Amino acid sequence: MKVFWTVLALFVAFLLQSALTHVVPRQARMVDLFVLVLVYCGLVGGETHAMLAGAAGGWVQDVQFGGGVMGLSGLTKVLVGFGVGLSGSRFQLTEPAARVLVLFAATLLDTLIFERLASAFDVRVQTLSLGGLFTRAALNAALGGVLFFYVDRHLARRRRS
Amino acid sequence: MAIGRTTPGVARVIEGRKSRFLLGALVLAHLVVISRQVEGEGGVSLLQRGLWSVLIPPQRLVASAIHGVEGVWTGYVGLRGARDENRRLQEQVRSLETQLEATKQQIGEAARLREILELRPILPFPTMTAQVIAREGVPWFRNITVDKGLKDGVALNAPVLGVGGVMGRVVEVGSSAAKVQLLLDRDCGVGVRIERTRTTAVVAGQVAFSDSGTSELLMKYVPVLADVVVGDVVVTSGLDQIYPKGLVVGRVRSVGKGSGLFKEVSVQPSANFEKIEEVMVASAPPRPAVLTESVR
């Protein structure tokens, strides 16, 4: 069941990201919905779940939205997923503020790791300015915070009923 | 006889009542008679006036109550009618707005397609129109996915053109879709020539940060001694064997000293990369050709 929901979440993230690129192409680059899925999986299911979700999401991103070298996003998200999963199992990260912080850090890490990996593999990529880096992280954190709140509330209601 | 047998006191009371009754009756009769003869203001008799003064207030009350109820009823019915009409009109407005929007979109699409169709006959190679079905959703690359692939005749490295000029080339081809690397991508390169001076160079991807909002291209390998000024038209040179010669890439936006042997030149692309909906993909590898002035 966990696999089903993760796949569904990734699929929805893919559809939404595609839709965003059509409607607001410039702003869509500043939102990474796959990171949101990855972070949620990491906080709820631990590092294994986060890494697998990250790998899957990263590969979708590589194939559909990425450049010439496949797997850069996949690798990045595996690393980020591991970090988030580990943090989730070591620290109490159930409070909304803590989750927003994790989202912010995860997005920041995702961007930095990707750019470093691209540089290491000699893939020429467009880099983000410092402002862009933090804006991306803040946008993702805000969006994820709201989404996580609603998902948790929905799940709590289902459990009660 | 019986009266005669009643006591004088009782008889007096009965008489007194009778008389008062009679008095009243007589006065009234007289008043009626008199009032019939005396016309008051507006031709209304005194009796009438008197009767009216008694009867009209309750009548007025009833009438006003009825009017009130009628008013409320009419208002209610009218309001219902107005509400229904309002709803109907709102629906009509919505429907018309939708139609207007659809028409606007059709007009826009027709204009774009017309521009493409007008350009197509003067291109020296066959092209096909393709719809953009996806864009990059990450800040690091600049690419689009189009709805034409191998089965439509799209080949790897096929040049992709927009109304404004060169947009990029096909870097991945599927059976029914293809990924196009845009000129803005950092990994992209096009052999170009400055039209005025015939100076050759290479235009590479975007100069600025991904989030800067600008879409300037970097022109590399322009010799320090080359004659380049702002506004110069940059066209493809054909030397890269991918893009045919003479297609417009953009205009020189700024010229800097740079470091070493080359100038630092940035180019403003002529194609609009932010709003791409349809593009032209070369359906066969283009043969070397020189375009006429009218193409530009």
CB contact under 8 A, A135 and B140: no
Which chain B positions have a beta carbon within 8 Å of A66's beta carbon?
136, 138, 140-141
Asked if the model's pLDDT at residue A102 lies above 50, the reply is yes
CB contact under 8 A, B187 and A136: no
Which chain B positions have a beta carbon within 8 Å of A65's beta carbon?
134, 136-138, 141, 143
Predicted pLDDT at A105 = 95
Give the separation between CA B142 and CA B215, rounded to whole angstroms. Answer: 11
Domain range holding A71? 2-160
* pTM, rounded to two decimals: 0.65
Option in B136, B171, B212 nearest A21 (CB): B136
Which chain B positions have a beta carbon within 8 Å of A30's beta carbon?
139, 211
Q: What is the mean pLDDT of residues A81-85?
A: 91
Q: What is the mean pLDDT of residues A59-84?
A: 84
Hey, what are A22's tokens? Answer: 């059509």
In this complex, is the C-beta atom of A128 within 8 Å of any C-beta atom belonging to chain B? yes
Predicted pLDDT at B54 = 61
Give the separation between CA A50 and CA A102, rounded to whole angstroms. Answer: 13
CB contact under 8 A, A21 and B135: yes
Out of A59-68, A150-159, B161-170, pick the least confident: A59-68
CATH 3.90.1150.10 at B123-288, yes or no: no
CB contact under 8 A, B209 and A132: yes
Which chain B positions have a beta carbon within 8 Å of A61's beta carbon?
137-138
Predicted pLDDT at B1 = 44
Which chain B positions have a beta carbon within 8 Å of A125's beta carbon?
140-141, 186-187
Measured between CA atoms, the residue of chain B closest to residue A125 is B140
Look up the CATH number of the domain holding residue A103: 1.10.1760
Out of A4-8, A10-14, B10-14, B197-201, pick the least confident: B10-14
Option in A22, A64, A126 nearest B139 (CB): A126
Predicted pLDDT at B35 = 59
Which chain A positions have a beta carbon within 8 Å of B141's beta carbon?
65-67, 125-126
Predicted pLDDT at A117 = 86
CB contact under 8 A, B145 and A64: yes
Predicted pLDDT at A34 = 93
Cα–Cα–Cα angle for B204, B206, B208, nearest 5°? 140
The type of residue at A122 is D
* Number of domain units in chain A: 1
Note the ipTM here: 0.78
Predicted pLDDT at A136 = 92
Predicted pLDDT at B56 = 58
CB contact under 8 A, B135 and A25: yes
Give the separation between CA A126 and CA B207, rounded to whole angstroms. Answer: 9
Asked if the model's pLDDT at residue A103 lies above 90, the reply is yes
Give the separation between CA B205 and CA B207, rounded to whole angstroms. Answer: 6
CB contact under 8 A, B145 and A118: no
Give chain B as a DSSP string: -HHHHS-HHHHHHHHHHHHHHHHHHHHHHHHHHHHHH-B-GGG-BHHHHHHHHHHHHHHHHHHHHHHHHHHHHHHHHHHHHHHHHHHHHHHHHHHHHHHHHHHHHHHHHHHHHHHHHHHGGGSSS-EEEEEEEEE--SSS--EEEES--GGGT--TT-EEE-SSSEEEEEEEE-SS-EEEEETTSTT-EEEEEETTT--EEEEEEE-S-TTS---PEEEEEEETTS---TT-EEEE-STTSSSPTT-EEEEEEEEE--STTEEEEEEEESS-SSS--EEEEESSPPPP----GGG-
Predicted pLDDT at B165 = 84
Q: Which of A67-71, A104-108, B193-197, B288-292 has the highest mean pLDDT?
A: A104-108
Mean pLDDT, consecutive 10-residue stretches, chain B (296 aa), reads 59 66 67 58 57 60 70 80 86 86 80 68 76 84 87 88 86 86 88 89 80 82 89 89 87 86 89 83 63 51
Hey, what are B161's tokens? Answer: 């053109």
Closest by Cα among A26, A81, A19 to A50: A81
